[in-house]
Amino acid sequence: MKKIISLLLLFTFGLSSCEKDDICDANTPTTPRLVITFYDNAAPTTLKNVTNLKVVGVGKEDTDAIIFNENGTSVTKYLATGSTVSIPLKTDAETTSYKFIFNATSTTPNTDVLTFNYKTQSVYVSRACGYKTTFTLNPRDTSANSGLIKTDPAGDDFWMLNINVVKSNIELENETHVKVYF
């Protein structure tokens, strides 16, 4: 009888040490990217496709540009053609600056730099997924576009004519955060 009780106790302790596998579901929202949608400046409600847009972090080499097309060549994988792009923000800083190079493959590309100022917050997702970082664009000055500074480092005139922050809380990737008119 003591052997049976000992065996049952050993079996019970053995089962209690097993735990369910924790796997983060691929559909679980993680740290969101900033979603930028492009519009026609002459018809502000009309989406407009950018052509051969290349986005490179300020201070980075062109070969460190954001990859938009995993299956592209060494040149085309860095190019976006469409009305929407999603870009990551730094989770360990409060600013991120990118060069947006319009018509990057032409002999006369046009470069505008956008600097995003924001606060970060770590949000617990689950034991399997851990934490994600959310962002809130915030002004460093009193400009109309809170959290955003536009510059033209090449002096080739701005191709981005108007920029509006439409959602300063960046928590999901299924919505537009910034509208760019060109």
**pLDDT one-digit tens code per residue, 77-129:** 999 999 999 999 999 999 999 999 999 999 999 999 999 999 999 999 998 88
**pLDDT the model gives residue 100:** 96
* Owner of token pair 């994600």: 132
Q: Cβ(79)–Cβ(66) under 8 Å?
A: no
Structural tokens at position 1: 């009888």
**pLDDT the model gives residue 24:** 85
pLDDT under 50 in the chain at which residues? 141-142
* Owner of token pair 């993680």: 30
Domains of the chain, by residue range, sit at: 23-181
Model's pTM, two decimal places?
0.81
Q: What are phi and psi of 17, to 5 degrees?
A: -85, -15
Residue type at position 145: N
